[in-house]
Copies of this chain bind each other. A is one copy, B any other.
Amino acid sequence: MNTPPELSRFCLHTITTKPLALPAACTAYKQVDISGITVWRDALQPLGVKASAKVLADSGLKVVSLCRGGFFPAVTAVDRRKAIDENRQVIDEAAAIGAPLIVLVCGAVPKVPLTEARKQIAEALVELAPYAADANVKLGIEPLHPMFADTRSAVNTLGQANDLAEQINSPQVGVTIDVYHVWWDDRLEAEIARAGRNKSIFSFHVCDWLSPTRDMLNDRGVMGDGCIPIRQIRAWVESAGFDGMIEVEIFSSELWQLDQMQFLHRLRTAYLEHS
């Protein structure tokens, strides 16, 4: 449990270094021995998908996933249809940039009861799974912290994500485990083992929970600066058979203010010491 992870598994989410445009991010990541990149859709905007795909192909970084699809529930059928169409486009983008996986933030709307939202999410996944299969892209259901159950996701525990993946029952659909969202759950170890048995752990995200957390969305911490037992959770994930990338995904208004190259060196150290 105390073994530092290999640098060959070190992946960064572009959102973590939000001030850097995609080409600058790719160059900077290589300088601190990052091996993989998870691309947020906003990072594809300035150059467009095609030119961004070339930047990524030329970077020497492994494209790990595209963030993010989802946001399926809506009050009207028209809006639910729009969301599914939008997700077809996300799948196309993932295929275009060579990302084998899309992370799904499944969505929630205050006016839609959670039980109904969960049905709408399942219906959307049933419809999208074959399209994703045709594109050779997988879909990772990421359970989001319960504090996001009003507007971001009606899937709030790994148990629920496992239930949903089992219900869809497609090799295309699995789970993404982010320590920030699930660290508090007393059933986490058991649910990680279950996802492992299902061979459905598609990706693994790390960061830390700061005390106090001053903002619900943009105050995540660097690994080691908070209270999440990241290495323990990694051990559970690896015992369950996962040997993929360890993806650092941090949203932080404070960290985005820093010199991003210095920040990257700090992340490299934190990755080795606390992930």
Contacts and interface: CB of A to CB of B under 8 A. Distances in A.
Contacts of A184: 114, 146, 149, 156
A74 to B, nearest CB: 15
Contacts of A216: 147, 213, 216
A227 B185 contact: no
A112 B141 CA distance: 30
Is chain A's binding surface mostly helix, strand, loop or mixed? loop
A113 B186 contact: no
A149 B185 CA distance: 9
A147 B150 contact: no
Interface string A184-201: 111100000000000000
B227 A110 contact: yes
A150 B213 CA distance: 9
A159 B187 CA distance: 10
Nearest to A155: B186
A138 interface: no
A202 interface: no
A111 interface: yes
Contact of A145 (B147, B185, B187, B227): B147
A203 interface: no
A211 interface: yes
B213 A186 contact: no
Contact of A212 (B114, B149, B151, B209): B151
Of listed A114, A149, A186, residue having the most chain B CB within 10 A? A186
Contact of A146 (B114, B147, B211): B147
A229 B157 contact: no
Nearest to A156: B184
Given A211-B150, A212-B151, A227-B111, A157 B145 contact: no
Contacts of A159: 186-187
A118 interface: yes
Of listed A114, A145, A160, residue having the most chain B CB within 10 A? A114
22 contacts: A110-B211, A110-B226, A110-B227, A113-B229, A113-B232, A114-B183, A118-B186, A145-B147, A146-B147, A147-B216, A149-B183, A149-B184, A150-B209, A150-B211, A150-B227, A151-B211, A151-B212, A156-B184, A156-B185, A156-B186, A160-B186, A213-B216
Interface of A: 110-111, 113-114, 118, 145-147, 149-151, 156-157, 159-160, 183-187, 209, 211-213, 216, 226-227, 229, 232
Top 8 A-B pairs ranked by shortest CB distance? A149-B184, A110-B227, A146-B184, A147-B147, A150-B211, A110-B211, A146-B146, A150-B227
